[in-house]
Amino acid sequence: MSVLAVGLSHRSSPVALLERVALNAEMRVKTVEEMLGTEAVNEAMVVSTCNRTEVYADVETFHGGVAAITELLSWHTGVPLGELSEHMYVHYEDRAVQHLFSVTCGLDSMVLGEGQILGQVRDALKEGQERGFVGRVLNDLGQRALRVGKRAHTETHLDHAGADMVSFGLTVAMDGLGLGPTGGRETTADQTVPAVGATPPAGCPMSAEPGDTGSAPLARATEGPLDGVRVLVLGAGSMSALSANTVARQGASTVVVANRTRERAERLAECLTEAYDSVSSRTVPFDEAASALPEADLVISCTGAQGLVLTADEVAGATEGRTTPLVFLDLALPRDIDPAVRDLPGVQLVDIEDMRRAAATGDTGEGRAGALTLVREIVDEEVAEFRAVRRVNQVTPTVVALRAQAQQVVEAELSRLHGRLPDDLDDRTREEITRAMRRVADKLLHRPTVRVKELAADPDGGSYEAALRRLFDLDTTTAAQAAQEKA
């Protein structure tokens, strides 16, 4: 059993291809089900965000796993295998583990160190667990990855040095709002609208976790870089909720929320009203979102829809005769906003592609560079520890098989011995003989089994386990059954 990672991200693929490969919830389930139906893949989970689509799997063989995963991704997304392979990366065993740990820490994100990816990996693991796609291998890997991500942000204060996708996107969009270089306030790719760090009210969609019971109130809005800006938020999921919270904290005067599920939009608007006394918040029906454009300066969209939410014609109709700029920040993949709106007068669109270009020109800065170095050290340390634990776990079936073989020998000898002992021997003496023989077997096996587990953590530890199997002629079927029982 081996860990395999196959995927595409903003680092390897153009956004247009990432958009085509993006998997919604239904597609993810169907694709993983078919992967698990092959002989090559035992477990699988998909991490799908606006920056990446990645499959992590426990596979029987490297080549068989790669073939099964890439062919099914090609089939379900409609992207030819050749085109997919050109931009796809593949990591195996330790490299796959290191990649997932790095991703979860934000080291591979468009905005280095952003914290949203930690929740996205958590969601991917939870989905795999609930649907039975994840077994012992990926569950251990996923749980360790979440631990590494938490360590990275807690021990290095990476969040303080970095930003998030929303605040970074807003920074890129500020020029269109008259707040950038042409509006008199200079901003660069590495200077972002401050990220939000307050605790939302209990049960609010802005909470980091569903059903969050935190009781601390959000900080009141102050005069910030978005002072007086009117905002329309499309969607009410975690990213949209973060967007609403961010703009409210940075001085937005109005936040209008549109979402397919009206109740969720109303709850988000309610939370904003509870949290910020200076922000006016309300909802509009999702299919009437275009009607709210005349009263908006900034539109932030992240709905997860498979088609366009706003077309160029809808935007053109809603902005006819407009004298102030209208800025769209499209955080969705596939994109929510028709790229053709760029051609409309007075309209600016910032999407994932624009953010990627801006991120490529940003300066890391000394503070963030120091934090990133510490995070990479944490990742390396955790990869080594995870490798050692896995090697010990791989030895366990052999140890169990050895003990099972010894037990069979002891029981057979006890059965033969009891048949030859005097009939008048009392039960207490018979039991003492039985215990003595079992103790001898246990003591003989204790030291070698402990040592083989200790040695398994070494780079060549597998050779000791192989020698043990060969020396005692252990039944590989017994060992495999033991492994399943342990899992």
| Residues noted as catalytic | 50
Burial 400-425 (b: 16+ CB within 10 A, else e): bbbbbbbeeebeeeeeeeeeeeeeee
Please tell me the distance from the alpha carbon of residue 170 to that of residue 339, in angstroms, as a whole number: 18
The closest of 350, 167, 333, 347 to 243, measured between CA atoms, is: 167
Q: Answer for the pair 160, 210: CB distance below 8 angstroms, yes or no.
A: no
What CA dihedral angle connects 398, 404, 408 and 413, to 10 degrees? 90
Please tell me the distance from the alpha carbon of residue 182 to that of residue 185, in angstroms, as a whole number: 8
φ, ψ at 124 (rounded to 5°)? -65, -45
φ, ψ at 358 (rounded to 5°)? -65, -40
The closest of 190, 99, 11 to 376, measured between CA atoms, is: 99
Burial 126-149 (b: 16+ CB within 10 A, else e): ebbeeeebbbbbbbbbbebbbebb
The closest of 169, 152, 157, 228 to 197, measured between CA atoms, is: 157
Strand partners, 234: 258, 301
The closest of 45, 51, 17 to 32, measured between CA atoms, is: 45
3-state secondary structure of 214: coil
Rg (the chain; Cα; Å): 29
Q: Answer for the pair 121, 103: CB distance below 8 angstroms, yes or no.
A: yes
Strand partners, 59: 2, 41
Please tell me the distance from the alpha carbon of residue 71 to that of residue 84, in angstroms, as a whole number: 9
